[in-house]
Structure formats: structure tokens, C-alpha cells
Amino acid sequence: MAHRTNQPIICLCAGKGRNEGQLFVYTAYIGAHERADYGFFTLQKTDGEWKILEGGTDLDPLFVCMLCGDDR
């Protein structure tokens, strides 16, 4: 994660069901207000290491609130 963004992690969610084994990571700068201040990454453990499957910054702030409570 440190190689993709310096935003602090604000929420971690373990995948459930078809997403089991994945980790959903939400990031944001302290006091974030702009889309570029938020991020989302999907990670999966492969060969003992966590790898980023997809993600980046520029996440709508409303999604952070909704997705952290989502039953993934």
C-alpha cells in the first residue's frame, strides 16, 4: 500500500462469500474533502504476500461511508 498512496487507512473490510480471501482497504487524508483525497484498494493474499488487485485514489467520499458498512 505504501507504494501506491501515502493516504492513511481509514477502514478495512474482509471479503465475504464470493469475495472471501480479499481485503478491501479505504484510505483518506485527515480532513479530506475532495475526491482525490480518498482511495479504495482491493487486496488478495497470493503466495504469502498481499497483492493489490485494483484500486487507486479519486473515490467519491459518499462511497467510503456506504462501502465500509457494506456486507461484502
Give me the residue label for grid cell 485527515: 30
pTM of the model: 0.77
Answer whether residue 50 is part of any domain: yes
pLDDT < 70 stretches in the chain: 1-3, 64-72
> Angle 1-66-55 (CA atoms, 0-180°, nearest 5)?
25
For 15, the domain range is: 9-68
**Can you give the pLDDT at residue 72?**
46
Answer whether residue 27 is part of any domain: yes
Instruction: Name the domain count of the chain.
Output: 1
Assess contact for 27 and 10: CB atoms under 8 A. Answer: yes
